[in-house]
Chains A and B, each alone.
Chain A
Amino acid sequence: MSVDETLAGYANLLLYGAMAAYTAAFLAFVLDLAGGTARAERQRTLAERRAVPVGAAAVPPGSGAAGDVSPGDVRSGDGTPPPRERRQAAAIGVSLTVLALLLHLAAVAARGWSVHRPPWGNMYEFATAGAAVVTLVFLAALRWRDLRYLGTFVVGPVLLTLGLAVVVLYTRASQLVPSLKSVWLAIHVSVAFVSSALFTLAFSVTVLYLVQARRERRRALGEPVRPAFTDALPAARELDRASYQLHAVAFPLWTFTLVAGAIWAENAWGRYWGWDPKEVWTFVIWVVYAGYLHARATRGWQGRKAAGLALVGYGCVLFNFLVVNIFFVGMHSYAGVG
C-alpha cells in the first residue's frame, strides 16, 4: 500500500485552515477575559447589593464558602454559579473552536487515510492528533462545567503545538516501522493522548489556582490587589477542586497508558519493562502524579504544595514529549525528525 500524496496535501491545507480558526478563537477568548475584569467589577457591585439577603439564608454553615469568596465568585454557598451572563466574545470563541476542531479532525483523518494507518506514527502526527484531543476534551468538559474562562489557556497552547508541529516536527506522510504496527500501539497512544490532554487542562487550571490563591491571600492580608483578568475566574477553592478532578481522571488513564505500553513492549520486544528512556519518563510522570494525589491526602501538603507537584508532573510530560523523543535514543525512537 502506498501513500496517497494528494490526500496528504489536503490534510496539510485543512490543518492550516484549522490554525486560522484557532487564531480567531484565541483572540475571542482573550477579549472575553479582558471584558471579564469589567464584568467582575459590575458583579461585585451587584453582589454587594444582593449579598445580605441571599447569602445569609442559603449558605450552609460549615461549607467554608462564605470566608473565601472572591469578587469574581458570586456564587451561592453550594457552588452553583450565578446564571451565565451572556458573554458574547466567549460564545464566539467557543463556536470558532468548534469550527477549528472540525477542520483539525478532518486534517488528522485525511492524514491517516493517506497512509492507511492511524495517524500517530511520528512526532508530527503525534503532536497534531494530540492537540485535536486536547480541544476535544476541552469542548466536552464545557458540557460538564462552564470552563470557558480556560479558553485562552487551552486554545493558545493548541495553536502553539500546531505551529511547532508544522515548523519543526513536520514529517512527510509515510508508513510505519514494523514495531509500531500493533493494536496495542493504537490503544496505548490514544489513551496517552486523552490523558495528556487532561493533564494539560489540569495544568492550566492549576496555574490559575495558584494565581488566584495568591491574590486571595494578599486580599485577605489587606494588601492592595490590582484588578486583573483573574477577577473573572472562579474562586481558588473552586479552581483547586476542578484541578483535582481533572487529575483524578487523567491519572488512571495514564496508568492505563503505562500498562498498555508494557503489553505492547512485551509483544514487540519480549519484555514488558526494559528501562528504555521513554519508559523511564512514563514511569517518572506516573510516580510524580501519584505523589500529587498522595500529597492531597497528606497533612501539610494540601493546597499550594500539592499544586506545585502537579506543575512538576506536567513539566515531566512536556519533557517526555519534546526532549526524550528527540534527544534520547532508545527503542522508542521513531520521532522522524531530522
Chain B
Amino acid sequence: MTATRERPTAPAPVQPRLGAVGTLRFAWRQLTSMRTALFLLLLLAVAAVPGSVLPQRGVNAGQVTTYLQQHPTSGPWVDRLGGFDVYSSVWFSAIYLLLFVSLVGCVLPRCRQHWGALRARPPRAPARLDRLPAHVAAEVDGDPERTLAAAQAALRRRGFRVDVRDGSISAERGQLRESGNLLFHLSLVVLLVAVAAGHLLGWRGDVIVPVGSSFSNAVPSYDSLDAGPWVDSERLPPFSLDVDSMTVRFEEQQTGSQLGAPREFRARVTSRDGPEAAPRTTSVSVNHPLELDGAKVFLLGNGYAPVITVRDGTGRVVYSQATPFVPQDGSYTSLGAVKAPGAEPEQLGLVGWFLPTAVIDDKGPHSVFPDLKNPALTLTAFAGDLNLSSSAAQSVFTLDTSKMRQLRTSNGDLVRLLIAPGETKELPDGKGSVTFERVERFAGLSIRHDPARGWALGAAVAAMLGLALSLFVPRRRVFVRVRAVQPRAAGDGPRTLVEVGGLSRGEDAGLEDEVARVLAAAGGPTAGRTSEERG
C-alpha cells in the first residue's frame, strides 16, 4: 500500500536477451499492466464513436442503403472498413477482446493475492509511525498493557482485524474494498459472456399482424427472423396469438411538433402456448411485453391495414384481405401493395398510398394527421406478370413491375384510383374492380428470445455492488505502539505514551478521524479536542 495505487508488480527482469518465452512473458506483462488497460479503455471509447455517426446495419439497414447511394465513392470504403457494422467489426472486437484478456490476466493474479491477504496476519507495525500519512501521539494515564487493550477493543468494535505483536497493534480493515473491485471486474467478464451467449442462442423476429388475424411461431410466419448461429429455427416454441383489437391515441390538442405525437398504443391479444393449450386473453403495449414460453412479445409498431377486395375481368373475387401499409412519416402516410396472382386473363398488381387523413395538394397525396379523420387510398394499377415465381424474395409492400405494364384510361392518362372506405372503383379495359371495404389497424410485433438475459442482469447488478464496495469502503491500516513513561510526579499512577499511525489505500478523508478515535479510546484526548489541539 503506497501512495500511488499501482498494483505491485514484480520488478522487470534485467536481461540482455529475452528469448521466446521471455518475450512472451514480457508481452503478457505489458498487456496486463494498468497502463495498457487504460490505453485500451480509451481506445474502446474512441472506437465506439463512429457507430453513432454512421448508420448501422444492425440498427437501421435502410439508412445504410441510402448512405451508400448518396456516397458512391466513399461509401464502399466505409463499408469495407466495417463502418456500417462497427460493433461487430474486426477492429472493435479486437479492442474489447484484448481489453478483456488484459482484464482476466490482471484480475486472476489479484484474486490469488487477495485470497492470501484475507487469511494472512496484518503486517507488522513500521518502525516509525510518524512517517505514516496520519499520526497522533499523546501521554495518557494507565499502564501500557491496559492502554493497548483499550485500543485493541476499540479497533475490534470498528471492524478491524487486529493482531498484537511485541507490544504493538497492527490492525486492518476494508478488505472488502479489494473484494469489491475484483467482483466488479469479474462481473464485467460474466456480462460479456452473457451478451455473447444471447447472440448465439437467441432469436428475434418481426411480424405485422392485422387486427382479426393470427400468428403462429414458426419461421414462415415471420416477415423477418434473425436467429443466432446455435438456434435450431425449425424448433421454435409452438405458441400462437390472435390480435383481437388495437387502441391507438394521438395528441390532438397541441400545435407544432407535438401535434399528432403518439400517446397510447395497446393491442388486445389471445394467446396459446401450444396448439392444444388453453387460450389466454391479455394485452400488449409499449413497455409492457407479453411473456410466452420463454419468448417476449413486444408491440413496437402499428399502422393501418385497409381491407381491399379485387375482382378480375370475369367478376370473380381474386383478392380480399386486410393489407398492411407501412407508415412512412409521423402522419402515417403509408406505403403498400396488393398482388392478385389469380386474376384472369392477366395477373393484377396495385401499389400506392394509404392516407389516414388525406390531403391532396401540390405536394401530391399525403396525410396530415395519424388518426382516421379522412381515410383514403390512392393506387396505381399494373397488369402482366407479378414475377412471383422468380427465386428472388419480394417485399410485400412493393411490386416488381419489370414484367408488368401500367394501366391507362381510354384517353391515355395513367390510372390513379382515389378510393374512400366503402367505395368501389372500376379498372379500365374491363380488367376488373377494386373495393376499399374498411380500415383495420395492424400490430407490428417483435418477438424475442434471449436465454442469457438473466445472466446479463445478474452480472450488471453484481458489478454495481462491487463498484460501490470498491469506491466507498475505506481500506485502512492502523498501528498502535505504547511505551511506559515517567509519571509526572512521584505518587501519581503509571503513564503511557501512545502513538497511533494510519494509512489508507486511495483517497480517504476519514483517516484522521479514525486515528484520533483510537487515541481517544486509549485514554488520549477525545476526537473533538484533538482536532482542536491540532488545528
Q: A residues engaging B (CB < 8 A)?
A: 2-3, 58, 60-63, 76-80, 171-172, 174-179, 181-182, 241, 244-245, 248, 251-252, 255-256, 259, 262-264, 266-277, 280-281, 283-284, 287-288, 290-291, 294-302, 309, 324, 328, 330, 336-338
The answer on a CB contact under 8 Å between A178 and B262 is yes
The answer on a CB contact under 8 Å between A294 and B460 is no
The reply on B118 being an interface residue by CB < 8 A is no
Known contacts A271-B204, A275-B56, A275-B58; decide if A174 and B258 are in contact (CB<8 Å): yes
Q: Given the complex, which residues of B lie within 8 Å of A256, measured CB to CB?
A: 464
Q: Given the complex, which residues of B lie within 8 Å of A283, measured CB to CB?
A: 48
Known contacts A268-B286, A296-B5; decide if A58 and B507 are in contact (CB<8 Å): no
The one of A281, A287, A300 that contacts B52, using a Cβ cutoff of 8 Å: A281
Q: In the complex, A330 Cα to B51 Cα: how many Å?
A: 12
Q: Apart from A76-B535, A255-B464, what 6 extra A-B contacts exist at CB < 8 Å?
A: A171-B258, A266-B453, A267-B288, A270-B447, A291-B42, A298-B34
5 nearest A-B pairs in the assembled complex, by CB-CB distance:
A280-B52, A178-B286, A277-B52, A338-B257, A287-B45
Q: List 7 A-B contacts (CB under 8 A).
A: A60-B130, A60-B136, A174-B253, A248-B471, A255-B467, A259-B460, A275-B51
A222 to chain B, nearest CB (A): 26
The answer on a CB contact under 8 Å between A284 and B258 is no
The reply on B6 being an interface residue by CB < 8 A is yes
The answer on a CB contact under 8 Å between B59 and A274 is yes
Q: Given the complex, which residues of B lie within 8 Å of A248, measured CB to CB?
A: 471-472, 507
B12 to chain A, nearest CB (A): 13
Q: In the complex, A123 Cα to B386 Cα: how many Å?
A: 48
The answer on a CB contact under 8 Å between A270 and B262 is no
Q: In the complex, A287 Cα to B37 Cα: how many Å?
A: 12
The reply on B441 being an interface residue by CB < 8 A is no
The answer on a CB contact under 8 Å between B51 and A245 is no
The answer on a CB contact under 8 Å between B35 and A62 is no
Chain A minimum-CB-distance residue to B515:
A60
The answer on a CB contact under 8 Å between B286 and A294 is no
Q: In the complex, A266 Cα to B251 Cα: how many Å?
A: 26
Chain A minimum-CB-distance residue to B467:
A252
The answer on a CB contact under 8 Å between B287 and A182 is yes
Most chain A CB within a 10 A radius of its CB, from B131, B254, B534: B534
The answer on a CB contact under 8 Å between B287 and A268 is yes
B231 to chain A, nearest CB (A): 16
The one of A62, A241, A330, A336 that contacts B135, using a Cβ cutoff of 8 Å: A62
Chain B minimum-CB-distance residue to A59:
B534
Q: In the complex, A176 Cα to B249 Cα: how many Å?
A: 11
Q: In the complex, A60 Cα to B499 Cα: how many Å?
A: 12
The answer on a CB contact under 8 Å between B298 and A270 is yes
Q: In the complex, A138 Cα to B506 Cα: how many Å?
A: 24
The one of A177, A252, A270 that contacts B204, using a Cβ cutoff of 8 Å: A270
The answer on a CB contact under 8 Å between A300 and B35 is yes
Chain A minimum-CB-distance residue to B286:
A178
Q: Given the complex, which residues of A lie within 8 Å of B512, measured CB to CB?
A: 78-79
Q: In the complex, A299 Cα to B34 Cα: how many Å?
A: 8
Interface size on B, residues (CB 8 A): 73
The answer on a CB contact under 8 Å between A244 and B287 is no
Q: Given the complex, which residues of B lie within 8 Å of A264, measured CB to CB?
A: 287
The reply on B239 being an interface residue by CB < 8 A is no
The reply on B264 being an interface residue by CB < 8 A is yes
Within 8 A of A (CB), among B122-164: 130-136
Q: In the complex, A255 Cα to B188 Cα: how many Å?
A: 12
A-contact 0/1 string along B238-266, CB 8 Å cutoff: 00000000000001011111100111110
Q: B residues engaging A (CB < 8 A)?
A: 4-6, 34-35, 37-38, 41-42, 44-45, 48-49, 51-53, 56, 58-59, 86-87, 130-136, 195, 204, 251, 253-258, 261-265, 285-289, 296, 298, 300, 446-448, 450, 453, 456-457, 460-461, 463-464, 467-468, 471-472, 506-507, 509, 512, 531, 533-535
A62 to chain B, nearest CB (A): 5
The answer on a CB contact under 8 Å between B195 and A273 is yes
Q: Given the complex, which residues of A lie within 8 Å of B255, measured CB to CB?
A: 172
Q: In the complex, A78 Cα to B511 Cα: how many Å?
A: 10
Q: Given the complex, which residues of B lie within 8 Å of A245, measured CB to CB?
A: 507, 509
B67 to chain A, nearest CB (A): 13
The answer on a CB contact under 8 Å between A299 and B6 is yes
The answer on a CB contact under 8 Å between A172 and B263 is no
The answer on a CB contact under 8 Å between B461 and A259 is yes
Q: In the complex, A91 Cα to B97 Cα: how many Å?
A: 53
Q: Given the complex, which residues of B lie within 8 Å of A267, measured CB to CB?
A: 287-289
Q: In the complex, A2 Cα to B195 Cα: how many Å?
A: 42
Q: Given the complex, which residues of A lie within 8 Å of B464, measured CB to CB?
A: 252, 255-256, 259
B239 to chain A, nearest CB (A): 16
The answer on a CB contact under 8 Å between A294 and B37 is yes
Known contacts A273-B195, A328-B52; decide if A78 and B34 are in contact (CB<8 Å): no
The answer on a CB contact under 8 Å between B5 and A272 is no
Q: In the complex, A174 Cα to B5 Cα: how many Å?
A: 51
Q: Given the complex, which residues of A lie within 8 Å of B59, measured CB to CB?
A: 274-276, 330
Q: Given the complex, which residues of A lie within 8 Å of B461, measured CB to CB?
A: 259
The answer on a CB contact under 8 Å between B254 and A172 is yes
Q: In the complex, A256 Cα to B461 Cα: how many Å?
A: 9
